Amino acid sequence: MRFDYLTVAFVSQAALWSFNNALLTTSLSTRKRHLNLSLESLQDSSIENIITSTEGDLQSPLSSLPLPPQKGGILRRFRDTFSHLQDPERFIERRSAELGPVFQMYQFFKPVVVVGGQDAVKEFIQEREAEAKVIYPDLPETFRELQTEWSTLNMDSTQQRFKEARELFKDMLQAPEARSYYLSTILPEIEAYADSLLERVQANPQKEILLVPELKELCLQIFARIFSGEGLTKEQVQMFLDYNSSLLTISKVTPEFKKGKEALDTLSEVMLRRFHAMEDKVAQGERIFVFECFRKNKGFLDVKNYERISVGMLLMIWGAYIECAALMIGSTVCMLEQNIDPTATVLREIRDQEAKGEKRTELSFWDGMKYTNGIMKESLRLVPPGAGLSRYGDTEFSLAGYRIPKGLSVQLDPRIGNKDSSLFEQAESFEPLRWVPPGASTTPASSSCPFKGMALTLGTGSWFPGGNGAHRCPGVPLAELVSTMFVSALSERFDSWEFGGSGLTTDGAVNYVNIPIKISPDDLGLKFCIRQNT
């Protein structure tokens, strides 16, 4: 993993976040928890010591239950934090193998209970989350301010505004009608980019392509057109990148935070102007799907809350580009890391869909690409962007036979279940066929996979690439659609692709950036081999 200067600074100050933010934003009982985590003492403070110092805990009806297991030792807070930052996936894999799927750790110097495994996750989302009101976000102050009061990441799930936003997301991001409507915007953008890439490879076959920054900009342009009606200028693209980079800055006085705040203010004004332009077009009889979604859902146009709308447009562009770029890049790289070449199968799927009379401008064409959709799901399983956000509640509760004290953050982590061989046979293998229905004919070799389609039968709590519970990411279906279209476009134009050499470790592995999400570095170079006689 690589550390840039921002990450190093962030790590060095993260404990001060937990101290200062607690004093400003939390109740007295929760402040006690944070105060125990200050840097005044380098002696390891176990979570047991923290919770037993809180009034009333010893009289709890759950006091006979054990706390989730944790590693002991001096300076555990620091050792956990730095080990997790260095390689989050390996850390979680080792810790869950040693302690089980539910355990305690320190993340950014703060205590958190990691919850993994199908049974515990299912119990949490179906019972404990609502019952114990585990609804309060445990986020840095800088992140909270830059996300604004209108971000669902800053809301508890009992708020009316949260419920209104989730209804909007359902209509705007998840509904088949929405994805069908967006195809006319997505398809030309994907095809134009793939054609441009082909032309560059034809001109210089040996030149490395730095795909990551190009796909970030491509996603920003696609979702800006979808959610705001227009593309972005180069300056506006950079503002979104600056905004994203500023979310985990260590303080409001840093230049990075100030740049992010300026980007937020400027882009919000841009979005407001674009929304008013939508209003004018609708008044003239033009149909705009995004506008219809705002008008349909309460809390937006019915009260003329234009600030909420403009910031909401900005955050949807930001969230969609982050999610989609990570999956587009992840699926492209994951196929290389697993040493497989599925492009011929993807191309065969495209030809089969065309032979059936399916049209690329219709959602049924892409929904019928079962194997290619499986590539997306396997990429999310083996190269997950990260864990879900931590949240805490005001009430203690039991989970998987353990006592979770009030005020202690809980984080659902999909990575534990993703490598569980009881859920995914040959869990270390990249096998898209595990997501293909048994009756689907995709490739002559499909019958050789003994667990074809088995991932489709998994129950609640086994598979949640976009988080789980009330705050699960609503944009995964849209990200999978765009990424399926992208891999299809690549497979039609290129036989294969390979690492060019830059952006790799000395061992030849991808030098991933792991914080705040896992994504390939901007300097990762790829070389493409042009497909002949397509």
pLDDT surpasses 50 at 22: no
pLDDT surpasses 50 at 482: yes
pLDDT surpasses 90 at 513: no
| CA-CA-CA-CA dihedral for 298, 304, 305, 308, to nearest 10 | 70
As a whole number, the mean pLDDT across the chain is 86
Quick one: average pLDDT of 266-275? 98
Quick one: average pLDDT of 365-372? 95
pLDDT surpasses 70 at 16: no
How does pLDDT run across 461-470, given as a tens digit for each residue?
Answer: 888 887 777 8
How does pLDDT run across 151-197, given as a tens digit for each residue?
Answer: 999 998 889 999 999 999 999 999 999 999 999 999 999 999 999 99
Q: What angle do CA 141, 147, 149 make, to 5 degrees?
A: 90
How far, CA to CA in Å, does 157 sit from each of 113, 258, 267, 334, 399?
20, 29, 27, 34, 20
Name the percent of the chain lying above pLDDT 90: 59
pLDDT at 249: 85
pLDDT at 443: 56
How far, CA to CA in Å, does 451 sit from each of 408, 421, 461, 497?
39, 12, 20, 28
pLDDT surpasses 80 at 348: yes
pLDDT surpasses 60 at 389: yes
pLDDT at 244: 93
How does pLDDT run across 93-124, given as a tens digit for each residue?
Answer: 999 999 999 999 998 889 999 999 999 999 99
CA separation for the pair 430, 438 (Å, rounded):
17
Parallel, antiparallel, or unpaired: how do β-strands 136-137 and 409-412 relate? unpaired
pLDDT surpasses 90 at 365: yes
pLDDT at 224: 98
Quick one: average pLDDT of 398-416? 94
What count of Cα atoms within 13 Å lies in the side-chain half-sphere of residue 300? Answer: 25
Lowest mean pLDDT among 98-107, 225-234, 367-376, 435-444: 435-444
| CA-CA-CA-CA dihedral for 133, 135, 141, 144, to nearest 10 | -150
- Fill in the amino acid letter for 4: D
pLDDT surpasses 50 at 43: no
pLDDT surpasses 80 at 533: no
Confidence band (pLDDT; 50, 70, 90) for 139? confident
pLDDT at 47: 55
Lowest mean pLDDT among 7-16, 286-295, 509-518: 7-16
When divided into structural domains, the chain yields a total of 1
pLDDT at 21: 41
Q: Is 210 exposed, middle or buried (0-12, 13-18, 19+ CB in 10 A)?
A: middle
Quick one: average pLDDT of 33-49? 42
- Fill in the amino acid letter for 369: M
pLDDT at 4: 45
Confidence band (pLDDT; 50, 70, 90) for 49? low
Residue the block writes with tokens 């793939």: 194
pLDDT at 532: 83
Quick one: average pLDDT of 428-445? 78
Helix (H, G, I), strand (E, B) or coil at 284: coil
Q: What is the CATH number of the domain that holds 290?
A: 1.10.630.10
Quick one: average pLDDT of 62-88? 91
pLDDT at 198: 97
pLDDT surpasses 60 at 53: no
Quick one: average pLDDT of 367-383? 92
Question: Are residues 271 and 225 in contact, defined by beta-carbon separation less than 8 angstroms?
Answer: no
Confidence band (pLDDT; 50, 70, 90) for 343? confident
Which range of residues forms the domain containing residue 532? 1-534
